[in-house]
Chains A and B, each alone.
Chain A
Amino acid sequence: MIAEIGLAALWLAAALAVLELLGGFLGARDENNELTALVRPAAVMQGVLCGVSFLALVYLFAVTDLSVKLVAANSHSMKPLAFKLSGAWANHEGSMLLWITVMALAGGLIAFIERRLPEKTMMATLGTQAFVGLGFYLFILLASNPFERLSPVPADGNGLNPLLQDMGVSFHPPTLYIGYVGLSVAFSFALGALLTRQVTPEFARVMRPWVLGSWIFLTIGITAGSYWAYYELGWGGWWFWDPVENASLMPWLAATALLHSASVLAARDALRTWTIMLGVVAFSMSMVGTFLVRSGILTSVHAFAVDPERGSFILALLALYIGGALVVFAMRANTIAEGQRFALLSREGALVVNNVALSAILGIVLLGTLYPLLTEAFDVRVSVGPPYFNPVSAIFFLPMLVVLAVGPLLRWRTDNFARIKWPVIAIGVASLVALAVVLVFFDTSVLSLLGMGLSIGVAVASFLPLKGRAIRRVPLAVWGMCIAHFGVALALFGVAADTAFQKERLVAVSPGDTVEVGPWEATLASVSPVAGPNWTAMQGDIFVSYQGGEQTETLPQARSFWAPPGETSEVALVTRWNGQLYVALGNMAEDGRWQLRLWWKPFVTWIWYGGLLIALGGCLALVGRVVSDLRRRKAEQREEAMRTEEAELASA
C-alpha cells in the first residue's frame, strides 16, 4: 500500500509539472493568462508530493518490505537501521527519486517565496524548472521505478555493498544531490531572465542565494566524500581523480565561477551574458555528472546499475536540456545589452581572471574525464589519472590563487596599483619567505613547493580586506569571503604538505614487533577475531606513540561481510593538530606475520578543515545577503506605506 501511495504521488507530481510547464510558458508571454495563477501552487504541491513519495520509500526500507523489488535488491533484514535508511538512496532508483524530490522542493520554494522579479520572468523560470523536472519524472516513472513490486517475495534481501555501509553514505549523497539539483534553480532563473530579457542586477541578486546555497552543499558534499574515500577505501588517498569525483568537482567549479560573476552582475551590472552562460553551464555539469555516474558507462562504487537503456534515456535528456539551453542562449545572447565597463585593474577585472581560470580548469577536468570514453569508441582503453590532472590544472590554478589574493583588495570599476602596493608586497614577501623555508629545509616537488608558498601568501591575503575597516561594521558577506579564501589557503597547505611530507611504511610483523613511520612508533600487541551485526573481522590491537610520548591504542579491522559478500578495511586514525596517523591491517602472510600499512600524513586534516571553512564562508555570505535583502525589502515596504499614507492624507 505504502509503495502504491509513493508511486501515485509521483505520477500526480508529474501531472502537476505538465500544468506548471504550460502555465509557466503561457504566463511568460501574457501574465494575465488564466493558467498563471495555477503555476505557483502547482510548483509547491509538486514539492509536497515528491516529499511524500520519498518518505514512502524511506519507510519501505526502514521496515524492509521485501515485496518491493528495490528493497529486496539492496537491503537486508540484518542491516543496522541507519544503513537501512541510507540504503533508500544508495542505489540507482532511490537516488533518482532523491534527485527529483530535491528539484521539486527547490522549485516549490522559489514559487512560494520569490516575489522580487517581474511576474513574467518568474513564470518563465518556473516553466523551465517544470520542463527540466518533467524529463526526470519520466525517467523515473518509465525507466527506473523505485516502487516496483516483486513476486514471489524473497526470504531476505541481497544487502548493500559493504563499502556503502558507512555513516558517510547517509550524509554524502543527499548533500551532493542538494547541491547538484539546487543548481537547476540557477539554470531556470538564467533561462527565465534570458527568455523575458530581464538580465538585470536584480536577477543576479535573486539568483545568488540559490547559487550560494547549492555551492555550500556541493562544497560540504565534496569535502565529506573526500574524507569518506580516505578512511573507507583504505588506500590513504583523499582524491583519486576518479570520474565520479570529477563529476562532482565540475559543477562545483562552474558554481564557484557563477557565484563570483553573479556578484559582479549584482553589484556592478557587468558580465551579464557571461553570468547567464555560467548559469546554464553549472547545471549542465550536474546533469553530465549524473549521466556519467548513472549511465553505467563507468563502473565504480558509485555506478549502481549497468543499464544501457537508462544511459540512453539520460543522454537524450542531457542533449535536450543542454542543447536547448545553448540554442536559446545563442539566439538571445545578442539581445543582452552591454553591461557597465571596467578597467583591467579593478575588482571586476580580477573576477574575470578568476572566472576564466575556473572555466579553463573545468574544461581540463571535463576533457580528462571524457577522454577514456572517446578513445573507447576507437577500441583503445586508457585511464587518465593524477599525472594528467595535477600538473595541467595547476597551470591555471596557481595564477588563480594570485588573483584570489590580490583581487579582493581592488576597488570596483577602476583602481591603480600604487594604492595596493604595500599589501601586495606583504603577500609576496609572506609567500617568498615560506617558499624559501621549504626550499632550504625540505626536499619537495615543484608543485608542493609552490603550493605551500602560495598558501601562506593567500592565508595572509585573505584577511587583508578587513584592514582599515571598523571590525564590527564589516558586513557578514565580507567575513564570508575572507573565511572562504582562508579555507582555500588551509586546504591548499594541507594538500601540498601531505604530498610533500607523508611517510609510508608497509611491513609484515609478528605480535610484539615495533615499526617506525615518521615520528611515530607502532607496536602490534595482538590480532583477534571480532564480530558485528552483519560482518566478522580480524582486529589488530596496535599501540602507537608520537615521538616516544604517551601510547594510544588503535584497533584497525579487516572486515568480511556476508550479505552481499565483500571485504572492507576499517582503518584506525590517530589525529593530531599537525596531521594524522593512518593504520590499516592487511592479510596474514604465510609465516603467520600480519601485514601492516602505516602512513604519517602531516597536515592532511587541514584539507577537510579548509573545505569546511570554505563552506562556512559561504554560509556567512548567504546569511548576510539574505538579511540585507530582507532589510531592504522592509525599508521599501515602509517607504511605500508612508507614500500611500501621504497620498491618502493629501486626498482627504
Chain B
Amino acid sequence: MMSGLKPKHQRLVLVVVALVALVGAGLLAALALRDQASYFYVPADIAADPPAPGQAIRLGGMVENGSITTAADGVTVQFVVQDGQARVPVSYSGIVPSLFVEGSGVVAEGSMNANGVFIADNLLAKHDENYMPRELEGMTSAELREELQETVE
C-alpha cells in the first residue's frame, strides 16, 4: 500500500493518478467530439458533400414556398428546405413551432435517410417574427449561413 512510500512519493503518485485520469478524459472527449458533434449544413453543403445516412446533423435554410404538406396522420409534415442553390426534402413528425411558415428560416435537427430525405427530430424557428424577412430569400448560401447562425441555438 501507499503508506509504505515516502511522503514525497505519495504526493507524486496522487498527482500522476489525477493527471492520467484527466488526460484520459481529455483524449476520450476529443475522440468522441470528432464522431459525435453534429455539424451544421445548408442544402448546398448537402448537395456538394452528402453526410452519411443516420449521422446526426443540423440543416438550416428557407422553407420553400408551397412545399409544406401534412400527411394523413395529421402530425407528419413534409417540406423542402432550400438555400437558392440546392433543395433538401424534410420530413418531421411533431408539433411545429408557430413561426414555422413557408418562406421563413428554419433549422432542423436530425439525419438524412437512405433515400435522401432529411428526417427531423426537432425544428427550431426563432421566437421573433421579425427574424429573417422574406426579401432575403434570394441570398447566397454564405449570406444565409450568416443569417442562420442566429437560429442555431
Instruction: Check if A and B associate.
Output: yes
Count A-side interface residues using an 8 Å CB cutoff: 62
Residues of chain B lying within 8 A (CB to CB) of residue A586: 75, 94-95
Complex interface: stretch among A403-411, A430-438, A588-596, A617-625 = A588-596
Residues of chain B lying within 8 A (CB to CB) of residue A243: 153
Residues of chain A lying within 8 A (CB to CB) of residue B139: none
Q: What is the interface of chain A mostly: helix, strand, loop, or mixed? A: mixed
Q: Is A171 on the interface with B (CB-CB < 8 A)? A: no
Given pairs A343-B3, A352-B17, 9 additional interface contacts (CB within 8 A) = A344-B2, A356-B17, A356-B21, A360-B22, A367-B29, A368-B33, A382-B39, A395-B28, A595-B75
Residues of chain A lying within 8 A (CB to CB) of residue B138: none
Q: Is the Cβ of B153 less than 8 Å from the Cβ of A298?
A: yes
Q: Quick one: which of A163, A338, A341, A359 contacts B22, CB cutoff 8 A?
A: A359
Q: Is B14 on the interface with A (CB-CB < 8 A)? A: yes
| Given known A356-B17, A360-B24, A392-B28, contact A384–B129 (CB-CB < 8 A) | no
Q: Is the Cβ of A341 less than 8 Å from the Cβ of B10?
A: yes
Provide the bound-state CA to CA distance between A343 and B5, in Å: 10
| Given known A414-B1, A595-B95, contact A589–B70 (CB-CB < 8 A) | yes
Q: Is B25 on the interface with A (CB-CB < 8 A)? A: yes
Q: Is A5 on the interface with B (CB-CB < 8 A)? A: no
**A264 CB to closest chain B CB, in angstroms?**
12
| Given known A357-B21, A360-B25, A387-B56, contact A507–B98 (CB-CB < 8 A) | no
Provide the bound-state CA to CA distance between A545 and B33, in Å: 44
Q: Is B85 on the interface with A (CB-CB < 8 A)? A: no
Closest B-chain residue to A510, C-beta based? B74
| Given known A356-B18, A388-B36, contact A595–B56 (CB-CB < 8 A) | no
**B54 CB to closest chain A CB, in angstroms?**
12
Q: Is the Cβ of B33 less than 8 Å from the Cβ of A388?
A: yes
Q: Is A576 on the interface with B (CB-CB < 8 A)? A: no
Closest A-chain residue to B6, C-beta based? A341
**B122 CB to closest chain A CB, in angstroms?**
8
Residues of B within 8 A of A (CB): 1-3, 5, 7-8, 10-11, 14, 17-18, 21-22, 24-26, 28-30, 32-33, 36-40, 56, 58, 70, 73-75, 93-98, 109, 122, 127, 129, 145, 149-150, 152-153
Residues of chain B lying within 8 A (CB to CB) of residue A381: 39-40, 58, 145, 149, 152
Residues of chain A lying within 8 A (CB to CB) of residue B24: 360
**A477 CB to closest chain B CB, in angstroms?**
25
| Given known A363-B29, A387-B36, contact A507–B21 (CB-CB < 8 A) | no
Provide the bound-state CA to CA distance between A352 and B20, in Å: 13
**B60 CB to closest chain A CB, in angstroms?**
9
Provide the bound-state CA to CA distance between A299 and B151, in Å: 8
Residues of A within 8 A of B (CB): 161, 163, 234-235, 243, 274, 298-300, 303, 338, 341-345, 349, 352, 355-357, 359-361, 363-364, 367-368, 371-372, 375, 380-385, 387-388, 391-392, 395-396, 413-414, 506-508, 560, 565-567, 569, 584, 586-587, 589-591, 593, 595, 597
Provide the bound-state CA to CA distance between A363 and B24, in Å: 10
**A586 CB to closest chain B CB, in angstroms?**
3
Residues of chain B lying within 8 A (CB to CB) of residue A597: 94-95
Residues of chain A lying within 8 A (CB to CB) of residue B1: 343-345, 414
**A605 CB to closest chain B CB, in angstroms?**
23
Q: Is the Cβ of B37 less than 8 Å from the Cβ of A383?
A: yes
Residues of chain B lying within 8 A (CB to CB) of residue A395: 28
**B33 CB to closest chain A CB, in angstroms?**
5
Provide the bound-state CA to CA distance between A560 and B36, in Å: 36
**B96 CB to closest chain A CB, in angstroms?**
7
Q: Quick one: which of B18, B37, B40, B153 contacts A388, CB cutoff 8 A?
A: B37
Q: Is the Cβ of B38 less than 8 Å from the Cβ of A385?
A: yes
